[in-house]
């Protein structure tokens, strides 16, 4: 997957290790696509099914948000920090998966993105059964 071209926003299903490699290589096909879109994403644990729902909005775009995950693995999320501490970095890099749930142009209103993030947290029960703490 690491050497593979950008599959399209609706075909992302990548581990943190793969995201780290893509970011480290600054793959232009991935970077150009993801830095020009806002969106709602899920990071889920393949072993337990526990989801974390997040979003990228404002001026940053998905590329910048996911680059921060590549650097930290947890993106400064309380629930993901706890999961990482409990499971360890190797487990996290291999067992967690990134996917986009919805994506829009950078012209999309931030409140729409935030509202859709809230919707997906409710649908996927990411507060009660996953890693969202807000």
pLDDT at residue 111, rounded to an integer: 97
Q: In this model, does residue 81 exceed pLDDT 80? A: yes
| pLDDT single digits (tens) 3-46 | 679 999 999 999 999 999 999 999 999 999 999 999 999 999 99
- Report which of residues 1 and 84 the model is more confident about: 84
Enumerate residues 6+ apart whose C-beta is below 8 A from 54.
40, 41, 42, 43, 65, 75, 77, 117
pLDDT > 90? residue 134: no
Distance CA 53, CA 127 (A): 9
Three-class DSSP category at 133? coil
Structure confidence by residue, pLDDT tens digits, 102-128: 999 999 999 999 999 999 999 999 999
pLDDT tens string 55-76: 999 998 999 999 999 999 999 9
Instruction: Kindly report whether the global pTM for this prediction surpasses the value 0.75.
Output: yes
63 burial type by CB count under 10 A (0-12 exposed, 13-18 middle, 19+ buried) = buried
pLDDT tens digits for range 96-106: 999 999 999 99
């Amino acid at each position: 997957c690491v050497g593979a071209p950008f599959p399209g926003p609706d075909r992302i299903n990548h581990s943190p290790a793969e995201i780290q490699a893509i970011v480290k290589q600054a793959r232009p096909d991935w970077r150009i696509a993801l830095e020009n879109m806002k969106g709602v994403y899920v990071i889920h644990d393949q072993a337990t099914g526990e989801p974390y729902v997040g979003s990228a909005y404002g001026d940053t775009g998905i590329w910048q948000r996911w680059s921060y995950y590549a650097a930290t693995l947890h993106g400064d999320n309380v629930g993901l920090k706890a999961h990482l501490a409990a499971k360890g970095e190797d487990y996290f890099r291999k067992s967690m998966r990134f996917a986009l749930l919805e994506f829009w142009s950078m012209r999309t209103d931030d409140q729409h993105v935030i509202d859709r993030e809230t919707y997906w947290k409710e649908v996927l029960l990411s507060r009660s059964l996953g890693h969202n703490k807000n």
